[in-house]
Amino acid sequence: MDLNFSADEIAFRDEVRAFVATHLPADIRDRVQRGDERHVADDLRRWQRILFEHGWGAAMWPAEFGGTGWDKTRQYLFDIECFAADAPIQLPFGLKMVAPVIMRYGSDAQKARFLPRILDGTDWWCQGYSEPGSGSDLASLKTRAERDGDHYVVNGQKAWNTLGQHADWIFCLVRTDAAAKPQRGISFLLIDMKTPGIRVQPTRLLDGRHEVNEIFFDDVRVPVENLVGEENAGWTYAKFLLGHERTNIAGIGASRRELARLKRMAGHARRHGAPLLDDSIFATRIAQVELELKALEVTNLRVIFAEARQQAPGPEASMLKIRGTEILQRISELQIEALGPRALQFDGDGEDVPRAVGQYMNLRKLSIYGGSNEIQRNIIAQMVLQL
Amino acid sequence: MDFSFTDEQQMLQDSIQRYLESSYTLEHRAGILAGNAGWSQSTWNELAELGLLALDIDEADGGIGAGPVGTMLASQTIGAGLLVEPFHSSAVVATRVVSSLARGTQREQLLGALASGEAIAVLAHDEDADWFAPRTSTAARAGDGWRLQGRKVCVSHAPMAHWLLVSARVGDGVGVFVVDRDAAGVALREYRTVDGMRAAEIDFDVMLAADTRLGDADARQALDEALDRGIAALCADALGVLDRILAATVQYTRDRVQFGTAIGRLQALQHRMADMYMQVEQARSMTYLATSACLQSDARARRDAVCGAKVVVGQAARKVGQEAVQLHGGMGMTDELDVSHCFKRLLAFELRMGCTDEHLAHYRGLVQSRAA
Ligand SMILES: Cc1cc2nc3c(=O)[nH]c(=O)nc-3n(C[C@H](O)[C@H](O)[C@H](O)COP(=O)(O)OP(=O)(O)OC[C@H]3O[C@@H](n4cnc5c(N)ncnc54)[C@H](O)[C@@H]3O)c2cc1C
């Protein structure tokens, strides 16, 4: 056993660090630091383009589709370095969700049409799974697609769609056989957001942000060629996709960055006339969460190691999701505590103030989406512990 | 020992609740939040008509004299109604400061204007130092009057106040001065708070007339008492929010069906709500304790109980608020239901009038001094 990264891996990490340091535009980095999301669509597209031009557009794709072909360890290191340098995230919907499904189950025509445009950032994808009545119980979804000649006609409503207001395409789970068992009658459709009959309506979140939408489908005609794989086999693809969504789900990069920020904040904040970081109680809280993060990092590496042998991540990915989100939420709580009463201020200036408070509220979502933490615990109980 | 409330106290609570339920809906409130002023004059007038603005004014001064218990019940109802108007800032804290310090015609005029709703006053007290630490604002004699200098932070409802009651060091003691919000030398940096209220950071360098000081004795004890009663009332406000958010969560899980069953039937979630319930009840007990301590004359015991309550209620606010959002799933993240508004008010509670940690530090000091 050896828990150290190899010399090659360290050289790789340094290469990534140097690249991001020189190529990440300062204005984008500053906005990420401030939590300023006003230009988020533009920033994300620009950064994707920069990575693409360097050949790093898709860290998680195999080389045959234009990806880097990196192993999981390199993907992990890449992720951490990007976060540490305050690079924007790469949206998962195209790169990590729909692309793997298209690679595995899509037609050659679909691969040729969609993958290059995801890679270079031309197309922005969003995810149309959840509905008002179907969240945790996704298989109960009701949005219908009926065959009419060489089209499907889609009617229904999707909810909680992240950043769909910027999207060019949406991948949807739709019901194509109402008579079959819930999981058997679902298909996986790719829908152009410009198709007539689609209406995107913002859902305002508790932090005031417009980050999610409701999407209404009213007789939306989708060419049959946009069906992925076979009709009524969509649930299989959805489950496959969920496995991919969980790579890097632990969010180590984000937690490390926010932990470093927390320490800076606690170094500046003063309590009882001394830096808050000198307060043994507050420092103990930071130490506690830092250790939890350390344990999770090693656990994550163990999963990566096992994955390299078994391909898809197993149910232990649920543990990474639960612990990773709880740790990041905890760090954001401590940031609020470090600010003290200044955290009351929600629209004022001051470097970390609005960011920390908005983020604290916004990050409550982490334990709700992507399969809620309760659902993940059910998975551990049933699949790992065999209860 | 008696944990019951009088008929009169209960009627008071019922009348506030009826008023808020019929007139202060979430939509109405959203309109107030979105406006420039951030509060509603007509709501304020209606609170005055209900007698709420005279609630914590002694009968001898023409008020209702409901005292800490009546104020607790009113605050609880007002918290549950998510009222953003300056009831707590003006009708509780500032009113108590005036009641314990002002004398003669100054007392009559100020209390009269506060009770009728003609004027709003807020205490400008917090500074960038610690909650309990000595103040850096100062007032010094200048000619016939005073020169007041300093900076106050987190002054809730300052943007809509007519008068700022500013605490400052005067020689070895402390004085409180009535300052017009619009006076020359008063600079407000206004902002919205996380729970939709308005507040300001204020810089003072202002010349004041001699009669602007409230009373002439050292104000420390009076201030401490007003602050403690204010914290107890704030705990009651949070308790009202806790009751509402728990009830909303229980109801939501009764109605929400996933996997063919109401999610409230799932034991994993039932246990979570059982824990929330226990936290709310512990918060209620500590709010009662703090309120009861405000009826006693022992100032140290009062401070201890109030600090303890702020900690227990603050911890319940954090935990119950987070759990409520979680159990609502995606709906908890939106601005549409009451849950997110309650969540934000509970977060603000943790941060107002001394954060949980500050109060815990006070209690820790007690433990250590007893051990020594
Ligand atoms: C900010 C945000 C962004 C999102 N983005 C997207 C997106 O882009 N695309 C998309 O398709 N969806 C998205 N979602 C939706 C997300 O996947 C759902 O919110 C999630 O699946 C939970 O569903 P729900 O909100 O209906 O909650 P519900 O399923 O109603 O759950 C409510 C509560 O009950 C618990 N619960 C439910 N069932 C069980 C059970 N069997 N055992 C124990 N506990 C249970 C849940 O954990 C939760 O605490 C997003 C959600 C949010 C909040």
Q: pLDDT tens-digit profile of B218-271?
A: 999 999 999 999 999 999 999 999 999 999 999 999 999 999 999 999 999 999
Structure tokens at A113: 């049409």
CA of A160 to the centre of ligand 1 (A): 9
Contact predicate B339/A168, CB 8 Å: no
DSSP line for A22-76: HHS-HHHHHHHHHT--TTHHHHHHHHHHHHHHTT-S-TTS-GGGT-----HHHHH
CA of B261 to the centre of ligand 1 (A): 15
Q: Which atom of ligand 1 is nearest to the CA of A211?
A: 1
Distance CA(A370)–CA(A197), nearest Å, equals 28
| Predicted local confidence at residue A34, as pLDDT | 86
Q: Does residue A140 register a pLDDT over 70?
A: yes
| B216 min Cα distance to partner chain A (Å) | 30
- Among B162, B324, B45, B208, which residue's Cα sits nearest to residue A206? B324
B348–A130: do the CB atoms touch at under 8 Å?
Answer: no
Domain ranges for chain B? 7-116, 121-217, 220-369
Q: Which residue is catalytic, options A81, A131, A211, A245?
A: A245
**Residue A56 sits at the chain B interface (C-beta within 8 Å):** no
Distance CA(A174)–CA(B312), nearest Å, equals 48
Distance CA(A295)–CA(B252), nearest Å, equals 36
| Predicted local confidence at residue A241, as pLDDT | 85
Contact predicate B243/B316, CB 8 Å: no
CATH tag for B121-217 (out of 3.40.1350.10, 3.50.50.60, 2.40.110.10, 1.20.1530.20): 2.40.110.10
Structure tokens at A174: 């739709």
Task: Give Cβ neighbours of residue B157 (< 8 Å, ≥ 6 apart).
Answer: B39, B86, B89, B90, B120, B122, B197, B198, B199
| Predicted local confidence at residue A303, as pLDDT | 86
Q: Which atom of ligand 1 is nearest to the CA of A129?
A: 11
| Predicted local confidence at residue A307, as pLDDT | 79
**Residue A305 sits at the chain B interface (C-beta within 8 Å):** no
Distance CA(B84)–CA(B92), nearest Å, equals 14
Could you tell me the CA-to-CA distances from B70 to B16, B229, B235, B271 in Å, in that order? 12, 12, 14, 34
**Ligand 1 binding pocket, CB closer than 6 Å:** A 126-130, 135-136, 160-162, 212, 365, 368-369, 372, 374-375, 378; B 256, 258-259, 263, 266, 268-269, 326-327, 329-330, 333
Q: CATH homologous superfamily of domain B7-116? A: Acyl-CoA dehydrogenase/oxidase, N-terminal domain (1.10.540.10)
Least confident of A348-357, B79-88, B320-329: A348-357
Nearest CA to ligand 1 atom 11: A129
Radius of gyration over alpha carbons of chain B, in Å? 21
Q: pLDDT tens-digit profile of B142-192?
A: 999 999 999 999 999 999 999 999 999 999 999 999 999 999 999 999 999
What ipTM goes with this model?
0.96
Q: Tell me the chain A residues in contact with residue B189 when contact means C-beta distances shorter than 8 Å.
A: 348
Q: Tell me the chain B residues in contact with residue A159 when contact means C-beta distances shorter than 8 Å.
A: 330
| A58 min Cα distance to partner chain B (Å) | 30
Nearest CA to ligand 1 atom 22: A135
Strand partners, A152: A147, A222
CB nearest B348 (choices: A272, A344, A369)? A344
> Does the reported pTM lie above 0.90?
yes
Q: pLDDT tens-digit profile of B28-70?
A: 999 999 999 999 999 999 999 999 999 999 999 999 999 999 9
Cβ-based burial of A262 (10 A; exposed 0-12, middle 13-18, buried ≥19) = buried
| Predicted local confidence at residue A242, as pLDDT | 78
The model's confidence at residue A247, banded by pLDDT at 50, 70 and 90, is low
- What would be the CATH architecture of the domain defined by A125-232? Beta Barrel (2.40)
CA of B348 to the centre of ligand 1 (A): 26
CA nearest to A375 within chain B: B268
Long-range Cβ pairs for the range B4-9 (8 Å, 24+): B5/B69, B5/B73, B9/B66, B9/B69, B9/B70, B9/B73
**Spacing of C-alpha B160 from chain mean position:** 16
| Predicted local confidence at residue A278, as pLDDT | 95
Distance CA(B58)–CA(B67), nearest Å, equals 8
Strand partners, B173: B170
| A284 min Cα distance to partner chain B (Å) | 13
Q: What is the DSSP letter of A365?
A: G
Q: pLDDT tens-digit profile of A61-117?
A: 999 999 999 998 999 999 999 999 999 999 999 999 999 999 999 999 999 999 999
CB nearest A205 (choices: B335, B351, B357)? B335
Average pLDDT, integer, range A229-235 = 97
The model's confidence at residue A313, banded by pLDDT at 50, 70 and 90, is low
Distance CA(B313)–CA(B257), nearest Å, equals 32
The model's confidence at residue A201, banded by pLDDT at 50, 70 and 90, is very high
Q: Does residue A272 register a pLDDT over 90?
A: no
Contact predicate B363/B304, CB 8 Å: yes
Distance CA(A78)–CA(A90), nearest Å, equals 12
| Predicted local confidence at residue A222, as pLDDT | 98
Helix (H) / strand (E) containing A45:
helix A40-53
Average pLDDT, integer, range A218-230 = 98
B330–A341: do the CB atoms touch at under 8 Å?
Answer: no
Distance CA(B20)–CA(A321), nearest Å, equals 42
H helices present in chain B, as ranges? 7-23, 26-34, 41-49, 67-80, 95-101, 104-116, 220-255, 267-293, 299-327, 338-351, 356-371
**Residue A337 sits at the chain B interface (C-beta within 8 Å):** yes
Report chain A's mean pLDDT, rounded to a whole number: 93
B153–A341: do the CB atoms touch at under 8 Å?
Answer: yes
A368–B332: do the CB atoms touch at under 8 Å?
Answer: yes
Distance CA(A79)–CA(A229), nearest Å, equals 31
Domain ranges for chain A? 7-90, 125-232, 249-385
Query: Which of A369, A373, A382, A387 most suits a substitution to test ligand 1, by most atoms within 8 Å of the C-beta?
Result: A369
| A341 min Cα distance to partner chain B (Å) | 5
A282–B357: do the CB atoms touch at under 8 Å?
Answer: yes
Asked about A214 being catalytic, the answer comes back as no
- Among A265, A237, A103, A123, which residue's Cα sits nearest to residue A174? A237
Report chain B's mean pLDDT, rounded to a whole number: 95
CA of B280 to the centre of ligand 1 (A): 26
Helix (H) / strand (E) containing A271:
strand A270-271
A344–B194: do the CB atoms touch at under 8 Å?
Answer: yes
CA of A368 to the centre of ligand 1 (A): 5
Average pLDDT, integer, range B110-118 = 97
- Among A169, A187, A190, which residue's Cα sits nearest to residue A126? A169
CB pairs under 8 A between A and B: 111
The residue type at B78: I
**Strand B261-262 vs strand B257-258: parallel, antiparallel, or unpaired?**
antiparallel
For the four alpha carbons of B92, B93, B95 and B101, in that order, the dihedral sign comes to: positive
Structure tokens at A202: 């913002």
Distance CA(B36)–CA(A141), nearest Å, equals 42
A341–B352: do the CB atoms touch at under 8 Å?
Answer: yes
B334–A203: do the CB atoms touch at under 8 Å?
Answer: yes
Quote the Cα angle for A276-B225-B114, to 5°: 110
H helices present in B26-92, as ranges? 26-34, 41-49, 67-80
**Residue A381 sits at the chain B interface (C-beta within 8 Å):** no
- Among B61, B57, B66, which residue's Cα sits nearest to residue B236? B66
Q: Which atom of ligand 1 is nearest to the CA of B333?
A: 53
Q: Tell me the chain A residues in contact with residue B358 when contact means C-beta distances shorter than 8 Å.
A: 340
- What would be the CATH architecture of the domain defined by B220-369? Up-down Bundle (1.20)
CA of A141 to the centre of ligand 1 (A): 13
Structure tokens at A64: 């045959």
Q: Does residue A182 register a pLDDT over 60?
A: yes
- Record: fold of A249-385: Butyryl-CoA Dehydrogenase, subunit A; domain 3 (1.20.140)
CA nearest to A336 within chain B: B351
B322–A345: do the CB atoms touch at under 8 Å?
Answer: no
Distance CA(A118)–CA(A95), nearest Å, equals 7
CA nearest to B340 within chain A: A206
Distance CA(B263)–CA(A368), nearest Å, equals 14
**Residue A53 sits at the chain B interface (C-beta within 8 Å):** no
| B87 min Cα distance to partner chain A (Å) | 18
Which of 245-264 (A) contact B at CB < 8 A? none
Helix (H) / strand (E) containing B258:
strand B257-258
